[in-house]
Amino acid sequence: MAGRAALPGRSVTSRALAVLDAFTADAPRLTLTQIAERSGTPLSTAHRLVAELADWGGLARRPDGRYEIGHRLWDLGLLAPVQAELRTVAAPFLLDVHTATRDTVHLAVREGPTALYVERISGRESVPVVSTVGSRLPLHATGVGKVLLAAAPDDVVDSVLRSLTRQTRHTVVDPRRLRRELAEVRRRGYARTTEEMSLGTHSVAVPVQVEGTPVVAAALGVVVPSSRRDVTRLAPVLEVAARGIGRQLARVRDFH
């Protein structure tokens, strides 16, 4: 976690991981001094570790002297089942949704209290969004996040409800109201948000359930301009695609 205190006796591996952990969605580019401070690592040690990670390709040095995550970690991340298998299976279905709507289509999985975006398709006509592939956004403020939260264990839901943060003036931060919304998501089978993550946008999302199991492997969503009035009509389009993904995932052992 960024900003951790220095711990005596940490192994070289744990120090290197702390250096990588200093980077977050809010701080994707850091100076050497910032890396040392956020990782709780002495500056001289951070300098050595950063140099080694940069040589390996785990970090990349920008022209302005700051560092960012390098291509080697991205390449490794693509090998993870949640990336390689889920993205491969879902890609044609996401493309179908984007072709039908011309809007930004997302695929996300739950990672702790956040929605991890594993795929996104958008075009010139799509409304600008804050999410990118690999970004993590709050479960309670996004359409895909609310779907994933509605399917999460009770302890995860309780933890999220205790730490609701306001992203815009429309973000639901009342735990009782959000709990009611989650119950409604479970009842009707889809989630909807209105300018909760970014102004000027609506979102609709549905669960991707592995066929023949109760497992919700991911959430599929679309983001549209807030001026659009037929938002809920997008739910059936998403549901058809989600069922297709779920049928394919049923053949992948890791999702059972």
- Give the pLDDT of residue 216: 92
Distances (CA, A) of 133 to 83, 100, 130: 10, 21, 10
pTM exceeds 0.75: no
Q: Domain extents for the chain?
A: 12-74, 78-255
The CATH number assigned to the domain with range 78-255 reads: 3.30.450.40
The most confident of 13-17, 20-24, 180-184, 210-214, by mean pLDDT: 180-184
Q: What is the pLDDT of residues 127-186, one digit of tens each?
A: 556 667 778 899 999 999 999 999 999 989 999 999 999 999 999 999 999 999 999 999
The fold adopted by the segment(s) 12-74 is Arc Repressor Mutant, subunit A (1.10.10)
Q: Which band of pLDDT confidence, cut at 50, 70 and 90, is reported for residue 1?
A: very low
| Same fold? 12-74, 78-255 | no
What is d(CA 61, CA 51) in angstroms, rounded to the nearest whole number? 9
Q: What is the pLDDT of residues 87-112, one digit of tens each?
A: 889 999 999 999 988 889 999 999 88
What is d(CA 247, CA 242) in angstroms, rounded to the nearest whole number? 9
